[in-house]
A and B are shown apart, each in its own frame.
Chain A
């Protein structure tokens, strides 16, 4: 034993000194371990390399490496498209099923090269650049799945964008032999140039069974409404040419025709129009005498004069888009990109994405039969009192077509759908001074407007990716109609991430609303420059309802431990006829609320809610106990409001259920020197906020406050124990776009709420403070400043509240607050009329 200890102490020498038997054993053990390691290692690396060589994910491949598939002449051919197909008859909805995300899953068949018996390819293009982009876009999106079994929509990798390059029969055969073709159900084909000579069908001629078709050039006879999707004809020119967005302003031509392949009949008609309208109209044609090396597709000519295309489109207000042999024209995309208003002259053409886009507001369509009179169509427009909001700024060469429109309508038409034409008094056009050069005053240089027609292009036409994503979204919305996500929300989330989704937009609006549709306008108006961001708003409570008086309101009193004052408040409120329930939010965790027997005896139910944390946002929690629509938020020290005042407040709220109806009003101002927002509590003539120390509002806003407050505002409020009322004002104004309503209050209240900071510091003094504040009502210079000795304390408080405004404005990305100059009083308020006949006599009296 001793020896062994000794040996072991010598460690390294152990093995050589071992017995042979032992040595053998250890060598065996060692080699086993070694072999095992080697084998494992080999297995780890070697098979992997084999697998990856067959893996699709490796990017080092050429399209020419795709496996070859031989079609034989006897392969089955699908049936021609079935015109009666609709989602509920031809689409295999079971594959999509219910899924919590409500997203369809799209699978792309792997690329194959199809050749016929003789080895000739079925398409002269093979996979085109555009189709490859399209498939990549799908593959990058969250629609994509690589598992054919989970897919609900299948996309062939056979490129049928352009029928010109296809061999119809063979392409059809290739489609039919796709795995899971199953009579085309759940397959989606993309086609932009349908038809072929001589008839030029308006849908793809390739027999395709029941497959969905996203086509560019459908007519109403081939388009299966609710099944097919009408897509634009992509213009590769827009990828090549970068047309910077043109600033609003006059354009040289009124109407432009830039297509080169017009039928003679059309050209003659256009020339007739031109003869009538002179220089305002420009008709371009192909250039015949271009020098070598100049691409003819980028040039247009008119009587020897050469113009650049598509740049020339930016020089015109209206651009004619006529049908060629096909209905869909790539020129439409160019025109939109140039911000020119398309005048689409193609009967029965299904406009791109017409299922969701409201083209009526973006273009002008004229039935073909009346084509020759289409100038009259314009004339009819101008006879209207104002320019129809179709689109762009319309400033023309008035000298050239004086008969077309009067100066007046030229100004009226400046709307561009987003900005009012006449901003301020200073910009007002004085008709007596006349002259049409005044248009400059309508749009001062600092006003920038992006025009909707261009925006359409940017959102839906710009790239193959935009086109395909829009198409898939449309199909997705059909399959999960109840989940159709509004496009606006989508857009806001993606772009900014911090803008609150403004209610649920209705989808139609959302599709047609520019995602970042707010227009920045600096309204220069002397010294009062305010930077306003004009956002469009759709209130979540949009129906004009005046709820019945009957259910009354629930008063929510937030309290910490001022029992005495709380009880007084409760007693006072209980006198209000429309009170239906009282809810006391007990925000003090260290102390129990008083015994039940100690509470004042009132006729309506009284509930006490204990909170787990002393937070200001507890006041705005959507308690289940609140069963009425109307909530009265009231502080536990607001004892000066009379029951008439509260009842009147409730009545006013009934007429404005989507607003905050409160008593003390406050204002935000733009501080020029500091270049930021400032909080103002003085007696001003304007109001943009009401304090929630006493305010009526809809319970819905409790949800918004608790669950949808943007950014970190909620935490900020709780951490600072301040500004919850400002936050609420921001929230409501942002979601409804409306100003609060200030009710008539007993003036003493005015000064009270500013004491929040003091509140925390000098809790006990609170009651006396009120008493103090009532009397010196004449000293209005700054009631808060003189209120208590700690002048700096109030300064801090004001600074803090200003800070809140600035902070919230940043988080909201806008200043939603609206300033008004009115407040609500009873109809006969302070009228010379017997008090006893007034419904609310006890208001504002001292």
Chain B
């Protein structure tokens, strides 16, 4: 019995060993597997002879690269120009730079023929160009040409389709194979394939087209524009819908889509699949089969159920309440939905493979939209889920920035197109990508002023810079110099005493000739006199002599203290992109007149600070002179009024923020004026009604009211606090 036990024990031992033997192998195998998985077991080998490997090229092979050149580069260039034409156009081969050399960037529009039918949208495009600062009516001066033929809708089935375009354009003496022409198009091709055929030969013209397919897009030459509806406003345009930066930034729905489903034909693959991601909770994807006359012919099993569900949701409600909006391709690559969701701050999720996004050469879309892949529709829900709140917050703000900068009106779309072409032609004086992609947007940046970010008031923070520590005072003089006790003399003393003042410029806008330098008092800083030619707008001309970032604009009769100037300047350095000034004014909507009103009454809020005494960045001189149209500046010159309002309009339009008012001691001349004492400055009794008219004229040019109200003023930290005056830096401000 004992023996049996022992043999059992022996067998057990043997079994155990066997298990160990094979089991060990198993464990080892496991180890090997996990080893392979976790570590880079099979890295690229560290060859023993890696140090003696040959270089990929000899240094002299790299340096002598040009030696074997056979043909002359000049003749090669010419050959290339002949080869790369039409569908292979590039600016170098198809664009005549010489045309732009003489007169700069000027755009000519073929004269409109009477009786010629033109769609509303094309009309708007033409109007935008004609109203822009680049327009010329002289084809000899022009650098760019725009046809008078409506080429927007090239769908043969459409009522807007213009026949015989080819014959027409060939008849134009300026056509020149389309060189230096730009052709606008929104719809091309027709059912069922919607090819990108315009139905005529565009030759070497630049194509500005919506729904561009990347393969047809001639990089650096064509321009992709967004699809916009005929209701799209000419000017101004609605602001984005984002008013709150709520956190967490997620909205009621995560992802929505509501739109047509094509049962057949191009684009149907994508749209037919959309219902798969619908979950009725946070992802709403609704499609309807109802479109066209004969939809019931192609109707499939899903249609009735889909249609029913489709009716339960309101498109606008979805747009407002969703974090992401699906923007799938339609028949063509682009859709109205793109701009709609951009405006609604609903981050677009694109399902449109191969779409060259609008203005893609300048706009960095990767920071505003999610580019999905039609092939990977089912991954979209997890993709959008994975995007974190910070990113949503940033993307959402960016949709608004882009919408307002480039898309909210036809004017902006057209101007952006022109500016992109201009940047290509004058590539050495062009905006860089950061300028295009940060506030206030490329249209407000005039590269002729500078291509250095540090010269603009907008990029200090993003570049880790701060504005310069001195200012130039520009005094607007209108009355002749008769005595040494005139206000202007006192003003000169006050301003030149400021430690931040680097120079003073007197803008002589008086009937009499400017007195010589000797008549002016000695000042510790340089004093220059400039002839203003008696034009109000000359106040804001970009004088080369202004070399400081800050400009202090002054009327000759302004009464100020040195410490007021100093304080305002220090404040301006914190808000370099805004106007920082003293006397406030306000605009309001006059319901009875259905027009904008203007008031100088003391109110609790303001939207304008007068430029009779204000700091702003010198770039605004440049913008004022070159960005604003001549008509507005003429209005200012004719009325000899309103230049300050116009400046406020401009700066608020750029920053979308109100100006800043700083402390001012009483006894400012405005006080007197409001009490009815006439200032020699404003002989015109119609002064106020004139200003009212100005506001309305300006608002109509801008297309909206850019002015914004503010409720506060900035005072020195210890202003009127009950602290010893000795402790106060700006004690003069409190003197009665």
Query: For residues 383 through 434 of chain A, which have their beta carbon under 8 Å from a beta carbon of chain B?
Result: 384-390, 408, 412, 415, 417-420, 422-425, 428, 431-432
- Shortest CB-to-CB span from B252 to chain A, Å, is 13
Which A residue sits closest to B713, measured CB to CB? A827
| Interface presence of A838 (CB below 8 A) | yes
Which A residue sits closest to B9, measured CB to CB? A29
Chain B residues, CB < 8 A from A684:
717-718
**Contact assessment for B469 and A425 in the assembled complex, using a CB-CB cutoff below 8 Å:** yes
Chain B residues, CB < 8 A from A827:
584, 603-606, 661, 710-713
| Interface presence of B305 (CB below 8 A) | no
Query: For residues 41 through 91 of chain B, which have their beta carbon under 8 Å from a beta carbon of chain A?
Result: 41-51, 53-57, 59-70, 72-74, 77, 84, 88, 90-91
Q: Given the interface contacts A418-B463, A827-B712, does A59 sit within 8 Å of B64 by beta carbon?
A: no
Q: Which of A63, A221, A536 contacts B464 (CB 8 A)?
A: A536
Q: Given the interface contacts A296-B60, A738-B461, does A259 sit within 8 Å of B450 by beta carbon?
A: no
**Contact assessment for B215 and A84 in the assembled complex, using a CB-CB cutoff below 8 Å:** yes
Q: Given the interface contacts A130-B55, A517-B464, does A821 sit within 8 Å of B544 by beta carbon?
A: no
| Interface presence of A193 (CB below 8 A) | yes
Q: Which of B247, B383, B452, B715 contacts A389 (CB 8 A)?
A: B452
**Contact assessment for A432 and B711 in the assembled complex, using a CB-CB cutoff below 8 Å:** no
**Contact assessment for B450 and A389 in the assembled complex, using a CB-CB cutoff below 8 Å:** yes
Query: What 1/0 flags go to B636-649 for Cβ under 8 Å of A?
Result: 00000000000000
Chain B residues, CB < 8 A from A390:
451-452
Which A residue sits closest to B353, measured CB to CB? A88
| Interface presence of A115 (CB below 8 A) | no
- Complex-state Cα separation, A539 to B439, whole angstroms: 12
Chain B residues, CB < 8 A from A562:
none
- Complex-state Cα separation, A388 to B92, whole angstroms: 24
Stretch of A574-582, A587-595, A695-703, A799-807 lying at the B interface:
A695-703
**Contact assessment for A536 and B717 in the assembled complex, using a CB-CB cutoff below 8 Å:** no
**Contact assessment for B247 and A622 in the assembled complex, using a CB-CB cutoff below 8 Å:** yes
Which B residue sits closest to A649, measured CB to CB? B712
- Shortest CB-to-CB span from B731 to chain A, Å, is 10
Q: Given the interface contacts A128-B56, A385-B450, does A542 sit within 8 Å of B711 by beta carbon?
A: no
- Complex-state Cα separation, A731 to B571, whole angstroms: 23
Which B residue sits closest to A432, measured CB to CB? B526
**Contact assessment for A822 and B714 in the assembled complex, using a CB-CB cutoff below 8 Å:** yes
- Shortest CB-to-CB span from A740 to chain B, Å, is 11
Stretch of B142-150, B203-211, B254-262, B370-378 lying at the A interface:
B370-378
- Complex-state Cα separation, A820 to B567, whole angstroms: 10
Chain B residues, CB < 8 A from A62:
47-49
- Shortest CB-to-CB span from A503 to chain B, Å, is 7
Q: Which of B47, B430, B470, B710 contacts A655 (CB 8 A)?
A: B710
Q: Given the interface contacts A263-B72, A503-B390, A543-B401, does A657 sit within 8 Å of B56 by beta carbon?
A: no
Query: For residues 698 through 712 of chain A, which have their beta carbon under 8 Å from a beta carbon of chain B?
Result: 698-700, 702-703
- Shortest CB-to-CB span from A814 to chain B, Å, is 10
Query: For residues 1 through 60 of chain B, which have their beta carbon under 8 Å from a beta carbon of chain A?
Result: 3, 6-7, 9-10, 13-14, 17-18, 20-21, 24-25, 28, 36, 40-51, 53-57, 59-60
**Contact assessment for A59 and B92 in the assembled complex, using a CB-CB cutoff below 8 Å:** no
Chain B residues, CB < 8 A from A747:
721-722
Q: Which of A28, A265, A324, A838 contacts B604 (CB 8 A)?
A: A838
Which B residue sits closest to A629, measured CB to CB? B244
- Complex-state Cα separation, A260 to B56, whole angstroms: 20
| Interface presence of B330 (CB below 8 A) | no
Stretch of B274-282, B392-400, B627-635 lying at the A interface:
B392-400
Which A residue sits closest to B401, measured CB to CB? A543
**Contact assessment for A132 and B53 in the assembled complex, using a CB-CB cutoff below 8 Å:** yes
Chain B residues, CB < 8 A from A517:
464
Q: Which of A25, A237, A424, A543 contacts B59 (CB 8 A)?
A: A237
- Complex-state Cα separation, A409 to B389, whole angstroms: 46
| Interface presence of A245 (CB below 8 A) | no
Chain A residues, CB < 8 A from B244:
545, 547-548, 551, 629
Q: Which of B10, B398, B655 contacts A29 (CB 8 A)?
A: B10
- Shortest CB-to-CB span from A564 to chain B, Å, is 29
- Shortest CB-to-CB span from B577 to chain A, Å, is 10
| Interface presence of B312 (CB below 8 A) | no
Chain A residues, CB < 8 A from B518:
none
Chain A residues, CB < 8 A from B657:
544, 546, 655
Q: Which of B68, B74, B387, B468 contacts A482 (CB 8 A)?
A: B387
Chain B residues, CB < 8 A from A39:
21
**Contact assessment for A57 and B429 in the assembled complex, using a CB-CB cutoff below 8 Å:** no
Interface size on B, residues (CB 8 A): 165
**Contact assessment for A504 and B391 in the assembled complex, using a CB-CB cutoff below 8 Å:** yes
- Shortest CB-to-CB span from A107 to chain B, Å, is 10
Q: Which of A93, A347, A778, A826 contacts B713 (CB 8 A)?
A: A826
- Shortest CB-to-CB span from B352 to chain A, Å, is 10
| Interface presence of B462 (CB below 8 A) | yes
Which B residue sits closest to A657, measured CB to CB? B245
- Shortest CB-to-CB span from A55 to chain B, Å, is 8
Query: What 1/0 flags go to B587-620 for Cβ under 8 Å of A?
Result: 0000000000000001111100000000000000
**Contact assessment for B56 and A415 in the assembled complex, using a CB-CB cutoff below 8 Å:** no
- Shortest CB-to-CB span from B526 to chain A, Å, is 7
A22, A159, A367: which has the most chain B beta carbons within 10 Å? A367
Interface size on A, residues (CB 8 A): 199
Chain A residues, CB < 8 A from B40:
139, 144, 146
Chain B residues, CB < 8 A from A561:
none
**Contact assessment for B451 and A389 in the assembled complex, using a CB-CB cutoff below 8 Å:** yes
Stretch of A612-620, A715-723, A784-792, A828-836 lying at the B interface:
A828-836
Stretch of A167-175, A178-186, A203-211, A325-333 lying at the B interface:
A325-333
**Contact assessment for B656 and A367 in the assembled complex, using a CB-CB cutoff below 8 Å:** no
**Contact assessment for B455 and A129 in the assembled complex, using a CB-CB cutoff below 8 Å:** no
**Contact assessment for A431 and B526 in the assembled complex, using a CB-CB cutoff below 8 Å:** yes
Q: Which of A146, A193, A648 contacts B42 (CB 8 A)?
A: A146
Chain A residues, CB < 8 A from B431:
360
- Complex-state Cα separation, A364 to B429, whole angstroms: 10
Chain A residues, CB < 8 A from B466:
420, 534
- Complex-state Cα separation, A368 to B73, whole angstroms: 10
**Contact assessment for B97 and A369 in the assembled complex, using a CB-CB cutoff below 8 Å:** yes
**Contact assessment for B66 and A324 in the assembled complex, using a CB-CB cutoff below 8 Å:** yes
Chain B residues, CB < 8 A from A417:
452-454, 463
Q: Given the interface contacts A198-B70, A420-B465, does A369 sit within 8 Å of B383 by beta carbon?
A: no
Query: For residues 357 through 396 of chain B, which have their beta carbon under 8 Å from a beta carbon of chain A?
Result: 364, 366-367, 370-371, 373-376, 379, 382-384, 386-387, 389-391, 393-394
Query: For residues 235 through 267 of chain B, which have their beta carbon under 8 Å from a beta carbon of chain A?
Result: 242-248
Chain A residues, CB < 8 A from B662:
822
Which A residue sits closest to B729, measured CB to CB? A685
Chain A residues, CB < 8 A from B439:
542-544
**Contact assessment for B728 and A25 in the assembled complex, using a CB-CB cutoff below 8 Å:** no
- Complex-state Cα separation, A58 to B43, whole angstroms: 9
Q: Given the interface contacts A482-B371, A827-B605, does A386 sit within 8 Å of B452 by beta carbon?
A: yes
- Shortest CB-to-CB span from B726 to chain A, Å, is 11
| Interface presence of A225 (CB below 8 A) | yes
**Contact assessment for B604 and A828 in the assembled complex, using a CB-CB cutoff below 8 Å:** yes
**Contact assessment for A93 and B49 in the assembled complex, using a CB-CB cutoff below 8 Å:** no
Query: For residues 302 through 343 of chain B, which have their beta carbon under 8 Å from a beta carbon of chain A?
Result: none
**Contact assessment for A536 and B718 in the assembled complex, using a CB-CB cutoff below 8 Å:** no
| Interface presence of A782 (CB below 8 A) | no
Stretch of A73-81, A505-513, A565-573 lying at the B interface:
A505-513
A-B contact pairs, 15 of them (CB 8 A): A21-B3, A25-B6, A197-B70, A263-B73, A369-B92, A384-B451, A420-B454, A481-B366, A508-B367, A544-B655, A747-B722, A821-B716, A821-B717, A829-B713, A838-B604
Given contacts A62-B49, A536-B464, A839-B604, 19 further A-B contacts (CB under 8 A): A55-B41, A62-B47, A62-B48, A86-B214, A192-B56, A347-B92, A389-B450, A428-B470, A535-B464, A544-B657, A684-B718, A685-B728, A698-B247, A778-B722, A821-B730, A823-B714, A824-B712, A831-B602, A839-B605
- Give me the 5 closest cross-chain CB pairs, A-B, nearest first: A389-B452, A324-B66, A388-B451, A261-B66, A36-B17
